[in-house]
Structure 1
């Protein structure tokens, strides 16, 4: 879900499961994690380096843009 919608859509996210937040480079996901933590989510992390880092380090077959 887009960062701009996150605060209004918190009720759509599970609070009883781990959440891994991601974006293209990792910056917006860190902001999202901070918002989630302030909203009472406890088991939430940002994907370090974002989707581009995942594509480079984990799955090189993944297309990047």
Structure 2
């Protein structure tokens, strides 16, 4: 099982959803499912580096 915050950290760093899914061993639909709330709230990849701890602390670790 993959840690959801790991999906967010890699996506936010600029990795594509397909590359993310392949490297973490999860389905692309799963990646899209967990990233949808972040995208809907206006969060986009490419900001300053963010750690797993930061994502967890901010409550952005998935539905």
From the CA coordinates, give the structure whose radius of gyration is larger.
1
Structure 1 or 2: larger helix share?
2
Higher relative contact order (CA 8 A, sep 6+): 2
TM-score, length of structure 2 as denominator length:
0.31
